[in-house]
Structure 1
Amino acid sequence: MKKLSSILLLLAATYSGTLYAQQQTRLNSNWEFVRQDLGGVWEAVRPVTPGNPESLPLWDKVNLPHCFNARDAVDPDVNYYQGPGWYRTQLDVSNPYANGRTLLHFEGAGQKTDVYVYTTKVASHLGGYDEWTADITKAVADFKKTDVFKKQFKGKVPVEIRCDNSRDLETIPSQLSDFNVYGGIYRYLNLVYVPALSLDKVFASADVDKAGALGKLNIKARFYNPANATSATGKIEVTDPQGKMVSTSTYNLNQLNGDVPVGNFQVKRPQLWSPANPLLYTVTVTAVANGQTYTQTAKVGFRNFEFVDKGPFMLNGKRLLLRGTHRHEDNAGVAEAMTEDMMKQEMQLMKDMGVNFIRLGHYQQSRVILNLCDSLGILVWEEEPWCRGGLGGDVYKNQARTMLTNMIEQHYNHASIILWGLGNENDWAGDFPEFDKEKIRAFMSEQNDRAHKLDPSRKTTIRRCDFCADITDVYSPSIWAGWYRGIYTEYKQTSDEEFKKVKHFFHAEWGGDSHALRHSENPDNALSKVKTGGGTDERLGDASLIGGAARVSKDGDWSESYICNLFDWHLKEQETMPWLTGSAFWVFKDFSTPIRPDNPIPYMNQKGVVERDMTKKESYYVFQSYWADKPMAHIYGHTWPVRWGEAGEQKMVKVYSNCDEAELFVNGKSLGLKKRNSQDFPAAGLRWQVVFNKGANNIKVVAHREKTTITDEITQEYQTDKWDKPAHLTLTKIADVDGKITVQVKLTDSKGVQCLDAVNWVNFSLAGDGKLLDDLGTSSGSRKVQAYNGRAIISLQTNGGKSVVGVSSPGLPSVFLNL
């Protein structure tokens, strides 16, 4: 095999039998891709001469994971591509096991996938988010017998994969969903060698009583046995979080069909798993048949959880307020094709913010994410992709059944998972002429029963489908106080009313959009226009920026300043709600969506506390000030270079901190020490009224918690000059580092004063040798973007040459800058 970018996992086989390295290789490199359909698989493998027209179509070299919507999902000028794409590579295949099986293990590919070895179709799969395996053993063996194998492919095996994310009403998730239904091999693909008999799955159920006195571990095995072996022996080892062996046993089986019990252990006083101490035991299962050995490991955690009837959430016998967020698998520059390092960075950012719970919306996510939730201590609600649109026919329902089953079976062992989500916004009609609530209820009940049968140890849940609220164990209604309906001070009352309607309440999805780098001196201004007392739920059309009743989502300024106030209010209220199980704000990171073309960054849902490239917004620190354990202090306004107002006017400076007290200094002068009080809104009392000097002002905070001292410091300009409407664009270079140039455009009035409240649309363009770093879905990585405080920035790669940057804005003269 040409050297593939890979991870070789060597799983030790310590039981008797022939010893081989069980190989799993990530097939990351040496791929080619074309974003269109082919006339047939023959077009991917036929011999061609370079430069000959018969070599069409032209293939691009790519690495996996790869999403073929990496850029166009947020291209402001086109709809994102939905259709087929082809991948091809050539593999060295050399299975060390006599009569062993050679597998392609997909961790996720969207949305319909066909796999070929040369021209032989070996597998098809429907569904973009569950794992699956293609057994290519026979096709490889047959191909190796051909002359083509030796002559044309020089001893390598050609593999071709067709992925297709075309619109299809009879598949889930619905295209009405508020996220892109991506295409591509966007999770890791592995080449796996296993012996003739191997383990398909190990189901390890770890239970413990409320007192934590006795842990029970029951283990079942499902064998992969295409050769129909009739017997196997094996060994099970259980080690504690420190690696010490706590239990071991052997088994001898003469029946290998179905899910076979292979071990039953008791662990006295097990070390408990929790967000504060995510302690994991390791279960190692070895299977031996016909002299060949296979080993599989699983991580499990002992924890006891309970949703108290009409009460809070309990973990290991104590109340735990679930402090949650949501995640879409989406990132700047790659869309869904996130690498393991990207996922680690994202989940660590959540943990550092103080998150102890996450809802994975709205589909089964990468095994990497679940492993990180286990090891970091983040409880999980994971969800099947039955999202919006209504209910289809048999194909639709069969896919939903399969994907729910796969999700539960594939993630069964994860200590972090406590809830299986059966659907999202299933009251949202539109895909079918018929919208029958009773049929939706019937299928929801069927899925609920299926989930409980597959996994009795966990609870079921849905969000926002009131006519199914009585079916699942836990229910989350729609409460968007201060964004889609009502004002944020109505949050507590509305939550209490909804809490009383169900047996087990959870609040998933709240918050609002913020355009990163946009700030406001009067962020709550829109609240005066909004009707109160009429509910705080989200309704059809509320996401639109036109029409309907006054609401902050349409009439607000989308500033970071407003959303910080909204989050701050919700968080301080949650500390006074002893019955609350918890909540999960929507969403941790901005993500792309095809149904929001008019947002300040087109095609972006901007409700994250970090941008799509994981740059922190100011609101990240609001949550950290309530949730994080590590001492922190953050002055609001790190990305607010210029404030404005009258000379001598008092301006509020806020500090978000979890320290006990803080002292603010402005231009070297102390403005006093203040004590933190979470109920003193805003900023938990850590706010000061400041009279700024015109021009530059230095702001510093010194915060204390016991013996720890934390400081933070920023410099802000204060502008007292008044401005008229925007009349000119001014374009300048503000950074030039290692061949990457950043430019900034300002909107000024006829006198040259920056219009600090301007929200005009700005369009960047580039001619020459460079490359504009756009289509990233970020405030500084989009060629079409709304201005933030009368400015906008973007970067470009110079490629060692010359370029001209152009900026246009409707109604204003365009400007150009030679670089």
Structure 2
Amino acid sequence: MKRTGFWWMLWGILLCSQLSRAQQSARITQPWEYLKGDLGGIWEAVRPATEGSPESVPLWQKVTLPHCFNATDAVSPEENYYEGPGWYRTLLDINNPYAQGRTLLHFEGAGQKTTVYVYTTKVASHTGGYDEWTADITEAVNRFLQSPEAKRFKGKIPVSVRCDNTRDLEMIPSDMSDFNVYGGLYRYVNLVYAPALSFETLQLQAQTDPAGNSGTLTVSAAFRNPGHLSGGTLELRVLDPQNKVVKEIRQEISIQQGLQQLAGISLKKPVLWSPDQPQLYTIHATLTTAAGTAQWTGHTGFRHFEFVTHGPFLLNGKRLLLQGTHRHEDHAGVAAAMTEDMIRQEMLLIKKMGANFIRLGHYQQSRTVLELCDSLGILVWEEIPWCRGGLGGEVYKQQARRMLTNMISQHRNHPAVILWGLGNENDWPGDFPEFDKQQIRAFMSELNVLAHQLDSTRKTTIRRCDFCKDIVDVYSPSIWAGWYRGRYTEYKQESLKEIEKVPHFFHAEWGADSHQGRFAEDPEKFIRQVATGKGTDERTGDFALTGGNARASKDGDWSESYAVNLVDWHLKEQETMPQLTGTAYWVFKDFSTPLRPENPVPYVNQKGIVARDLTPKEIYYVFQSYWLKTPMVHIYGHNWPIRWGKEGEAKEIRVYSNCQEAELFVNGKSAGVKKRNSQDFPAAGLRWNVPLQAGNNQVKVVARNGKQTITDEITWQYQTDTWSKPVRLMVEEDKTFSNSNTRKICVKAVDEKGVLCLDAANEITFSQAGDGVLLIDQGTASGSRKVQLANGQACIYLQTGGHKGTAVVAASGKELQTGLTTITF
């Protein structure tokens, strides 16, 4: 299929999926108003506004959904992120086309406790920030329209929503988790009209044998039927991936309470779904009754998978090495409030990296993510947010049961899903005075049974809780070779040990933090401090930047250079273990966390393959060189503008490529041709030692794959001047940056002679006076008021808004002379 056709198909799937949940559905993105903090009561959200009245509440601001309380404060270096209530309100035009139909508000996710009001009537509440839920507002709307107050609102319906992410020990996830527990309407809200009898959920179970000789599709449904209608006519149509109708059923059905099976359909040689060929079947369901016609459209796929005991993962009867990463729903400038376009951009980057697997950590994620995994071909581990802290009481347990039930019910149709996660790091105590392993085991066993009752076709899994590893189907131990403990060269031997300990093994979470833009000529000079032979698991306190054993996470330089080495080694070793099911690198994108205020970018976990704004780090291209099937080539160090060393000293130049061979040119002269060999570390043998000249150096590579050639080139500056201790900061505008509404401001740390200190890692603080606004609190190396220098440098952006003005931007740091510059625009 041509590329253009693929994108149209992808868009069609997403569009169709938005229409599949009900007869008529529309997102309500605006107009909404938001108030940070609480109200004295619901009346304050709807009472008449009187100019100058002390009873008015003037603090509402206009927002567009999705919206998160913590869009910027989660990464602010000066404050704890907000945890508390917040209110949203809007006026809805209600025009339900169905006689006796239902008017619904469908929430795709809201954090963390949510209450919905129509005028002053409470209509629904929900606890849990990640699963979908629906508020039926039909009766409340009808009552309001008949009330004297309706005239004041001119036929529109006042809807108010209170969200609350206040800390609560009897709610999951724990605030000890290494991610922010966000608040707000951070996923889409939909206004839905449905006939009096409609589909509440429709579940598809598609199964096939390993060879795909035959398939069965079981269709079950639960109905929304407040009027207790008895039955109707059901039509089912099954379309293959080429949109050809392969099965059609029409039958009379009687409506029962709860989930009921509607049909069992047999197919000969169904087209199989796989990461390389994510072929999807479409199912249309129509229910016609005296109340009207209800419709549902969705997708599924046929595939067979198996975790071989102490062996590999099989998909459709063939070995598939699961090559994956992880995802948090978090993004620069918006936190959890990612739009569909943002999510699509992220998932396409993951697919273009060559990944075929993703773990959605540590909670049920947006329906858009799952739909994209289906259509792009990315296998999924999805889990509930029982994460750290221990085990609470019955309220706590009931939320976990409910969220597991909702996750499986809402996402079981997706062929991409193969694993249901029951918990993460449940061996981590702290929320309760008592930490009882037997009680945790008992509840884990209960969840395991519940998951299999709800869905017998998938496997259950957890990560890092050794005393529960025998309960679930697939277990992932803690192996952080080269970061939290040990050296990365111990990775294979530790993995082989762990593979033998459990029947079905998977390695979730490995990697290294890296400060984007920080590089090193010798990133492993600290390595001799790190002990070997003592395990590579993460233990309590290893994530801290002080105390404990010598380790890369504490004693290393947090450079992209070290991360490249670690990733390169892991990927080459993964190719040599035929019994390995697969791994997932932690994490795809940098994300905010309240537990890491001292990181180079404060409050950001910086293990991402890309930055929090989706800008790729160097390791992105290392993954591509091992995983991507289409030809690629990348000279390591595009974000490393200045290298350093002695005059005439040979410097290593690496190329990451999946091509058979590559030829390097430095300043127009060939440095020779190298053959690729994945086991020749580093860079699979594509490395050259070449002297660089002082000043600018032009570097180009030509990679060849048979008759096909691709190229990459960069310019490096080579600094031979040595430096001493940095003493002052120089601030200046980058005149090469061109944007009518934004200016780029750069800072450099120099010594007493004015020489750039390329190993300086001081923390600096930006400030600004005058016109314009600094773009801060983005959780990125170039979007934080406080940030560590990368190779003695940092930058920030000044937003001018397209207006004329003058601003003074300063950078200061401990024991450094403050630098400043005046910007006129």
Q: Deviations over 1:265-297 (max 9, x none)?
A: 111111000000000001111111215100101
- Tell me which residue corresponds to 1:4: none
Within a 5 Å distance, the mapping from 1:279-358 to structure 2 comes to 279-358=279-358
Q: Could you tell me how far 1:51 is from its partner in structure 2?
A: 4.7
Aligned residue for 2:815?
811
Q: Which residue of 2 aligns with 1:718?
A: 718
User: Aligned equivalents of 1:136 and 1:268: distance in 2?
Assistant: 45
Aligned partners of 2:119 and 2:93: how far apart in 1? 13
Residue aligning to 2:757: 755
| 1:38 corresponds to | 39
**Pairwise CA distance, 1:811:** 1.0
Rounded Cα–Cα distance in structure 2 between residues aligned with 1:739 and 1:802: 13
Residue number in structure 2 paired with 1:687? 687
Letter aligned with residue 716 of structure 1: W
The answer for the alignment partner of 2:57 in structure 1 is 56
Counterpart amino acid of 1:774? I
Look up the SS of the partner of 1:143 in the other structure. Answer: helix
- Distance across 2 between alignment mates of 1:619 and 1:649: 26
Question: How many angstroms apart in 2 are the aligned matches of 1:132 and 1:349?
Answer: 30
- Overall identity of the aligned pairs, in %: 65
State the shift of 1:262 in Å. Answer: 1.0
Which string of whole-angstrom CA distances, capped at 9 and with x for unpartnered residues, describes residues 220-254 of structure 1?
11111111111122110000001000001122222
Q: Do the aligned partners of 1:200 and 1:224 also contact (CA within 8 Å) in 2?
A: yes
Match in the other structure for 1:104 = 105
> Which residue pairs with 2:135 in the alignment?
134
Please tell me whether the aligned partners of residues 323 and 357 of structure 2 are also in contact (alpha carbons under 8 angstroms): yes
Cα distance per residue 1:68-88 (max 9 Å; x no partner): 100000000000000000000
How many Å separate the matches in 2 of 1:519 and 1:332?
A: 23
CA distance in 2, matches of 1:280, 1:422: 27
Report what 1:742 is aligned to: 744
Equivalent residue for 1:3?
Answer: none
> Counterpart in 2 of 1:430?
430
Q: TM-score, normalised by structure 2?
A: 0.97
Letter in 2 for 1:741: R
Q: 2: CA distance between counterparts of 1:387 and 1:489?
A: 30
- Structure 1 unpaired stretches of 5+: 1-6, 14-20
Root mean square deviation, CA, Å: 1.2
Contact 2:16–2:297 at 8 Å: present in 1 too? no
After TM superposition, give the deviation of residue 9 of structure 1 in Å: 7.4
- Cα gap change, 1:8/1:94 in structure 2, threshold over 3 Å: closer, same or farther? farther
**1:707 Cα shift?**
2.3
Q: Name the structure 2 match of 1:17.
A: none
Write the mapping of 1:177-188 to structure 2, written as runs, cut at 5 A: 177-188=177-188
TM score, norm. by length of structure 1:
0.97
In 2: Cα distance, 1:354 partner to 1:426 partner? 31
Distance 2:150 2:316 in 1: 59
SS at structure 2 position matched to 1:496:
helix
Contact 2:17 2:298 in 1 (8 A): no
1:802 aligns with 2:806: yes
Q: Which amino acid aligns with 2:83?
A: Q
Cross-structure match for 1:125? 126
**Counterpart of 2:212?**
212
Structure 2 segments unaligned to the other structure (5+ residues): 1-13
Q: Which amino acid aligns with 2:59?
A: L
Deviations 1:756-776 (A, max 9, x none): 000001100111220111100
- CA deviations on 1:561-593 (whole Å, 9 max, x unpaired) are 000000000000000000000000100000000
Q: Which shows bigger deviation, 297-306 or 807-816?
A: 807-816
CA distance in 1 between partners of 2:704 and 2:394 (Å):
62
CA pair 515-8 structure 1, distance change in 2 beyond 3 A: closer
Amino acid at match of 1:158: P
- In the alignment, the residues of structure 2 paired with residue 232 and residue 428 of structure 1 have an alpha-carbon distance, to the nearest angstrom, of 52
Question: Who is 2:165 aligned against?
Answer: 165
**Corresponding residue for 1:707?**
707
Deviation (angstroms), 1:806: 1.2
| Conservation of the 8 A alpha-carbon contact between 1:34 and 1:57 | no
Deviates more, 1:62-71 or 1:220-229: 220-229
Cα offsets for 1:435-475 (capped at 9, x unmatched):
00000000000000000000000000000000000000000
Quote the offset at 1:315 in angstroms. 0.2
User: Corresponding residue for 2:150?
Assistant: 149
Tell me which residue corresponds to 1:646: 646
Alignment partner, residue 241 of structure 2: 241
Deviation at 1:192, TM superposition (A): 0.1
The residue type equivalent to 2:578 in the other structure is P
Residue 359 of structure 2 aligns with which residue? 359
How big is the shift at 1:263?
A: 1.2
* CA distance, structure 1, for counterparts of residue 651 and residue 114 of structure 2: 58
Mapped pair 1:528 → 2:532:
no
Flag the 1:699–1:288 CA change in 2: closer, same or farther, 3 A.
same
Q: Deviations over 1:697-731 (max 9, x none)?
A: 00000001122211000000111111000011111
Whichever residue aligns with residue 669 of structure 1, its letter is K
Match of 1:409 in 2: 409
**Shift, 1:428, TM fit:** 0.2
Structure 1 stretches of 4+ moved >6 Å:
7-13
CA contact 1:378–1:416 (8 Å) conserved in 2: yes
Deviations 1:497-533 (A, max 9, x none): 0110000000000001000000000011121110100
1:9 touches 1:23 (CA, 8 Å); kept in 2? no
| Structure 2 partner of 1:774 | 776
CA separation in 2, counterparts of 1:749 and 1:50? 60
- Give the whole-Å Cα distance in 2 for the aligned partners of 1:492 and 1:10: 42
What's the CA shift for 1:260? 1.3
Residues 664, 743 of structure 1: CA spacing in aligned structure 2 closer, same or farther, 3 A cutoff?
Answer: same
Aligned-pair distance for 1:56?
2.2
Aligned to 2:696: 696
Task: List per-residue Cα deviations over 1:403-460 (Å, max 9, x = no partner).
Answer: 0000000001000000000000000000000000000000000000000000000000
**Partner residue of 2:84?**
83
Distance in 2 separating the partners of 1:112 and 1:85: 11
Question: Corresponding residue for 2:544?
Answer: 544
Give CA deviations for 1:605-653 in whole Å, capped at 9, x if unaligned.
0000100000000010000000001111000111111111111111100
Aligned to 1:587: 587
Cα distance, 1:818 vs structure 2: 1.1
Query: How far apart are the structure 1 equivalents of 2:15 and 2:564?
Result: 45
Question: How far off its partner does 1:755 sit?
Answer: 0.2
Letter aligned with residue 810 of structure 1? K
Amino acid corresponding to residue 281 of structure 1 in structure 2: Y
| CA shift digits 1:7-36 (9 cap, x unpaired) | 9979999xxxxxxx9321100010000110
Match of 1:789 in 2: 791
Distance 1:55 1:778 in 2: 39
| Cα distance change of structure 1 residues 10 and 482 upon mapping to structure 2, 3 Å threshold | closer
Q: Report the AA paired with residue 558 of structure 1.
A: W
- For 1:26, give the aligned amino acid: R
- Distance, in Å, in 2 between the alignment partners of 1:11 and 1:772 is 38
CA distance change for structure 1 residues 306 and 8 in 2, over 3 Å: closer, same or farther? Answer: closer
1:11/1:22 contact within 8 Å kept: no
- Per-residue deviation, residues 131-162 of structure 1 (Å, max 9, x unmatched): 00000000000000012111x21111000000
8 Å contact from structure 1 (residues 12, 295) kept in 2 = no
The one-letter amino acid of 1:113's match is T
Q: Is the 8 A contact 1:8 1:24 kept in 2?
A: no
The letter of the residue matching 2:115 is: D
Tell me the amino acid that sits aligned with residue 69 of structure 1. N
CA–CA separation in structure 2 for the residues paired with 1:338 and 1:615: 16
2:205–2:219 contact (8 Å) kept in structure 1: yes
Shift, 1:94, TM fit:
0.9
Matches within 5 A, 1:459-474: 459-474=459-474
Please state whether the residue corresponding to 2:428 is helix, strand or coil: coil
Amino acid at match of 1:474: V
In the aligned structure 2, how far is the partner of 1:621 from the partner of 1:436? 44
